[in-house]
Chain A
Amino acid sequence: MASRHRREASVAAAILLLLAALAVVAPGFFVRENLSDLLLANVPVLLIAIGATLVILTGEIDISVGSVFAICGVVAGLAAHLGLPMLVIALAVCTAGAILGAANGALVAYVGLPSIVVTLATLVAWRDALRWATQGAWIQDLPPAFQWLGLPQSTYPFVACGIALILQVTVSWTLRNVAAGRAVYATGSDADAARLAGFDTALVKLTVFAVGGSLTGLAALLNAVRFNQIPSNAGLGLEMKVIAAVVVGGAAIRGGRGTLAGTLLGVTLLAIVGPALVFVGVSAYWERAIQGAIILSAVAADAFRGWRASLPPQAPAVAQS
């Protein structure tokens, strides 16, 4: 069992190392405002990454999350303008996200299209549909009751973190302790074997896409309440950020392997790296390059381990005449 969590351990070690270095070189990093900003900016990323982990565990991928995020943000703004209570707004964005996610999921699970193509198409289509619908206009003049979910600004960070924590723990626990969680892993490891064991693998895939969509909706809401206007082009490039975090967290891109703890660590590491550079005095332009390097080294570590594991030759299958 220990070897299974090696990735989580090494990412955690990398985070601690980075924080230790920052403590020496740039203690300013640990100022309360900075940490709070960082946290609030990354809570939405974590929520989307939880959904993306589920999708990736089943062996699929969703690169349309950025567009879903933008649409759900606008939905949240429109709902706020209607003066709906916050709980209804939250329900509306989650539903919108779930519908968009389920549309992807249905095309993948029941039509049998490759998820990378389906979600690439919806990434582009929904983004442009939104641009056409809003004519590029941002949603302004949000009611004060919308800001910070209508909470005092000092309370909001705790609520946002609380929501993220609850979801992280609940989904993680479900993956481990409920039959549906087993179904997710089995589908991603070997869809044929999962079907033979009696799982409805198409339903599993539809469900993870829908859940991923509704988490993206919630993330859009938690992002929107931080500002007093909602851009109609939010979430550009979000899919890469999210998938990178999941992969760094140790989930196998082909499915079947990975944990939400890993994803949390992946989101954390990638969230710290950028700001850390600024504090150390390196140009922020390097942020993406360094993130790329982290992703590559994570994948290379996997490949190396896989290569080493394949060294003892496997017994060849017995030939049949």
Chain B
Amino acid sequence: MSDFLLQAAAITKNYAGVHALKGVSFDLRPGEVHALVGENGAGKSTLIKVITGAVTPDSGTLTVGGRHVPHMDPHTSRSLGIAAIYQQPALFPDLTVAENIALAREPGSVWRRVHWKTRRRVATELLERVGASIDPDRIVRTLSMPEQQMVEIAKAIGADARVLIMDEPTASLTEREVEQLFKVTAVLREHGVGTIYISHRLDEIFAVADRITVLRDGETVATRPVADVDRATLIRLMVGRELSAVFPKRRVTAGDVALEVRNISHRASALRDISFSVRRGEILGLAGLVGSGRTELAEVLFGLRPADAGEILVGGVPVKIGSPAEAIGFGIGYVPEDRRHHGVVLEMSVAANTTLANLNGVSRHGLIDRSAERDAATGYLQQLRIKAASIFADVGSLSGGNQQKVALARWLSTNPEVLILDEPTQGVDVGSKAEIHELMGALAERGLAIVMISSEMPEILGMSDRIAVMQAGRIRAILPRDEANQDRILHLALDEPSSERRVNVH
């Protein structure tokens, strides 16, 4: 027998030339809670996917319960007793609690007889073990989020899980529910189950973990017992990185205020009391963890989620933005995060995509002027160096970077005053990335106000004139370029009491 439930050694994984994991090692002992921390994009999710068999690593070895597993897939992973619960419970919402728990543990053929009594009894026992009193006959859809999480844990234990992965389990829980979850981890510990705990909340990590492993840029930075690290050290370990890329930041004298936001809120997306402004020629970086409300804020500004309260001023004039069409009318452009799904229409040609938001600009008397459309598209093809077979090629046939450039071209053709870019270089190859950065600089120079959401620290620090850090639906601080550094931004994003005032959220 090995002392470890799980060992991952020297795991590497590349996605289309991007190194997601560069030789990561990780291990888990029976009965311990091992926290996995790191910034957005550090490689936590990829490592979890390797362990659960969702992705196959390029190299490295996985050992489970002392046995080398040459080829991990989701089925093998489950049969070896590895279970994962995510921020969003993955249960069948229309089945009962008992059925959901039974699905993971009942062997046998499709035609076996279902013993309802046993199902119910087993479910009740398992739920009791995790300290939850939930009626096993209830339909999962009617349960609250924390109740569903308890069912997930009961299900994992019922399936004899030895390794339980909790990926941001507390993101949607209240403080009391978090305490309940911690009690459950204590129960798991007694049963010798090893828990991999992923969270952005450092308080929780210190409360629950035995050991901590820090990932950064796809590498293991450190693995230490929790007693050997303090917050400051942990954050330094998470951040400690040199700015590797060179950003073509141009010095632009900022002009008039192009967009100003005063105390806007959107209750349904938990955005509260947000105020900031962007000037012409300025790039405002919007930093924060995934889920801090950055995309939601962008959608409020673009009219996808009209604000409940507060004021939006475009060029100094108060406006109401109730739909994307209105936002476009006010000179706002938005390149969304999920480019493949919302930024471009994959089945349409480069030309049609380029002019989609500004058909008036290439129309005469309401008719689309094909030659004007061709000229416009050809112009952007050259200006943005979009690599496509022709302007008539479907956008779906282009590479990610070139699709992103088409999305940009669409908004440039509307001659916007304000451009909102959500993760503009996510999933884009290095060459196109530099070109997009270059282009952003050139646009700012032309007097465009840019709001850039990015999870990539070097991009935020390299491209922004000022940086607004969001945390839990608020802007925690707006830092001028020369006062910003990774450490400060991360402190603010994690809501850690460092140099900034502590805001009482609870």
Q: Do B341 and A190 touch across chains, with their CB atoms under 8 A apart?
A: yes
Q: Could you mark each residue 140-163 of chain A with 1 if its beta carbon is under 8 Å from any beta carbon of chain B, else 0?
A: 000000000000000000000000
B41→A321 contact, CB < 8 A: yes
Known: A185-B352, A190-B341, A196-B334. 4 other contacts (CB 8 A): A192-B341, A196-B324, A198-B327, A320-B290
CB-contact partner of A193 in B39, B342, B366, under 8 A = B342
Flag B30-73 by CB within 8 Å of A: 1 or 0 each: 00000000111111111101000001000000000000000000
Residues of B with C-beta under 8 A to A317: 15, 340, 427
Chain A residue at minimal CB-CB distance from B390: A1
A321 touches B46 (CB 8 A): yes
Measured in the bound complex, the distance between the Cα atoms of B342 and A185 in whole Å is 15
Fill in one digit per residue for A165-195: 1 if any B CB lies within 8 Å of its CB, else 0. 0000000000011110010011001101111
Q: List 11 A-B contacts (CB under 8 A).
A: A179-B363, A189-B345, A194-B345, A194-B356, A196-B302, A198-B324, A198-B327, A317-B340, A318-B18, A319-B49, A321-B44
Q: In the complex, what's the smallest C-beta–C-beta distance from B125 to chain A, in angstroms?
A: 36
Kindly identify which residue among B40, B215, B324 contacts A195, using a CB–CB cutoff of 8 Å: B324
Q: Which residues of B contact A177 (CB under 8 A)?
A: 367-368, 370
Closest-CB distance, A143 to chain B (whole angstroms) = 41
A316 to B16, CA, bound (A): 7
Nearest CB of A to B333, in Å: 10
Roughly how many angstroms separate A148 CA and B57 CA in the complex, as a whole number?
74
User: Is A196 within 8 A of B336, CB to CB?
Assistant: yes
A200 an interface residue at 8 Å Cβ cutoff?
yes
The 7 closest A-B pairs by CB, nearest first: A321-B44, A179-B359, A198-B325, A198-B328, A318-B427, A315-B16, A197-B357
Q: Do the beta carbons of A257 and B347 come within 8 Å of each other? A: yes
Whether A256 sits at the interface, judged by CB under 8 Å, is yes
Please measure, in the bound complex, the distance between the C-alpha atom of A318 and the C-alpha atom of B348, giving whole angstroms.
Answer: 24
Q: How many residues of B contact A (CB 8 A)?
A: 53
Q: Give CA–CA (A282, B491) in the complex, Å.
A: 81
With A179-B359, A196-B324, A316-B16 already in contact, the answer to whether A321 and B344 are too (CB < 8 A) is no
The reply on A209 being an interface residue by CB < 8 A is: no
Q: Does B261 contact A (CB under 8 A)?
A: no
CB within 8 A of A318: which of B15, B336, B360, B392? B15
A231 to B212, CA, bound (A): 79
Out of A179, A190, A319, A321, name the residue touching B360 (CB < 8 Å). A179
| Complex interface: chain B residues within 8 A of A199 (CB) | 325
Structural contact, A320 and B45, CB atoms closer than 8 A: yes
Is A193 a contact partner of B345 (Cβ separation < 8 A)? yes
Q: Is A178 touching B343 in the complex (CB atoms < 8 A)?
A: no
Q: Is B426 an interface residue (CB 8 A)?
A: yes
Q: Which of A182, A195, A257 contacts B368 (CB 8 A)?
A: A182
Residues B356 and A189 in contact, CB atoms below 8 Å apart = no
How long is the Cα–Cα vector from A94 to B38 in the complex, in angstroms?
64
**Does B323 sit at the interface, judged by CB under 8 A?**
yes
B185 at interface (Cβ–Cβ under 8 A)? no
Residues in A whose Cβ lies below 8 Å from that of B20: 318-319
Complex Cα distance A64/B302, Å?
37
Q: Are A200 and B367 in contact (CB under 8 A)?
A: no
Residue from A179, A190, A198, A321 in contact with B342 in the complex, judged by beta carbons closer than 8 Å: A190
Q: How far is the CB of B19 from the nearest CB of chain A, in Å?
A: 10
Q: Enumerate B329-385 residues with CB–CB distance to A below 8 Å.
A: 334, 336, 340-348, 352, 356-357, 359-360, 363, 366-368, 370
Are A189 and B348 in contact (CB-based, < 8 A)? yes
Is A319 within 8 A of B46, CB to CB?
yes
Within B3-18, the residues touching A (CB, 8 Å) are: 15-16, 18
Contact of B42 among A176, A186, A315, A321 (CB under 8 A): A321
Contact with B along A1-33 (1 / 0, CB 8 A): 100000000000000000000000000000000
Number of residue pairs across A and B with beta carbons under 8 Å?
Answer: 104
Q: Do the beta carbons of B348 and A320 come within 8 Å of each other?
A: no
A196 and B343 contacting across the interface, CB-CB below 8 Å? yes
Q: Which residue of B lies closest to A257 (CB)?
A: B347
Distance of A154 Cα from B436 Cα, bound (Å): 66
Most A CB within 10 A of own CB, among B20, B38, B342, B426: B342
Among A176, A177, A179, A256: residue with most chain B CB under 10 A:
A179
**Can you list, as one digit per residue, whether each of B60-95 has a CB less than 8 Å from chain A (1) or not (0)?**
000000000000000000000000000000000000
Residues in B neighbouring A195, C-beta threshold 8 A: 304, 324
B346 x A178 contact (CB < 8 A): no
B229 to chain A, nearest CB (A): 20
**A186 and B348: CB pair below 8 A?**
yes
Q: Within the complex, which residue of B302, B359, B399 is in contact with A182, where a contact is CB–CB below 8 Å?
A: B359
Q: Do A186 and B345 have beta carbons less than 8 Å apart?
A: yes
Q: Which of B215, B347, B367 contacts A256 (CB 8 A)?
A: B347
B410 located at the interface, meaning its Cβ lies under 8 Å from any Cβ of chain A in the complex: yes
**CB of A57 to closest CB in B, whole Å:** 11
Are A179's CB and B366's CB within 8 A? yes
Chain B residues with CB below 8 A from A257, complex form: 347
B455 within 8 A of A: yes
Q: Is the CB of A321 within 8 A of B40?
A: yes
Q: Quote the shortest CB–CB distance from B241 to chain A (angstroms).
A: 14
User: What's the least CB distance linking B135 to chain A, in Å?
Assistant: 32
CB distance B346 to A190 under 8 Å? yes
Q: What residues on B are CB-neighbors of A196 within 8 Å?
A: 302, 304, 324, 334, 336, 342-343
CB-CB under 8 A from A192, the residues of chain B are: 341-342
Q: How far is the CA of A64 from the CA of B399 in the complex (A)?
A: 42
| B348 cross-chain contacts in A, Cβ below 8 A | 185-186, 189, 256
Distance, CA A195 to CA B302, complexed state (A) = 11
Q: Collect the chain B residues with CB atoms within 8 Å of residue A185's CB.
A: 348, 352
| B-chain residues with CB within 8 Å of residue A194 when the two chains form the complex | 345, 356
Contact of B325 among A200, A319, A320, A321 (CB under 8 A): A200
Query: Which residues from B are CB-within-8-Å of A200?
Result: 323, 325
Measured CA separation A185–B346 after assembly (Å): 12
- Asked if B45 and A319 sit within 8 Å, CB to CB, the answer is yes
Q: Tell me whether A197 and B367 are in contact (CB under 8 A).
A: no
Once bound together, how far apart are the Cα atoms of A139 and B229, in whole Å?
90
Interface residue B306 (Cβ < 8 Å from any Cβ of A): no
For the complex, what is the distance from the CA of A198 to the CA of B333, rounded to whole Å? 10
Q: Contact at B347–A197, with CB atoms within 8 Å?
A: no
Chain A residues in 8 Å Cβ range of B343: 193, 196
Instruction: Write the nearest CB–CB distance from B49 to chain A, whole angstroms.
Output: 7
B400 at the interface (CB under 8 A from A): yes
Tell me which of B40, B334, B357, B399 contacts A320 (CB under 8 A): B40
CA A319 to CA B54, docked complex, whole Å: 12
A169 to nearest B CB, angstroms?
15
**CB contact under 8 A between A182 and B356, given known A321-B42, A321-B44:** yes
Whether the pair A315, B345 counts as a contact (CB closer than 8 A) is: no
Within 8 Å by CB of B357, from A190, A198, A318, A321, lies A198
Distance in angstroms from A256 CB to nearest chain B CB is 5
Judge whether A197 and B356 touch: CB under 8 Å: yes
> How far does the Cβ of B167 sit from chain A's closest Cβ, in whole Å?
10
Minimum distance in angstroms from B68 CB to a CB of chain A: 25
Alpha-carbon gap, A196 to B323, bound state (A): 9
Enumerate chain A residues within 8 angstroms of B340, measured Cβ to Cβ.
317
Which residues of chain B come closer than 8 Å to A321, judged between CB atoms?
38-47, 215
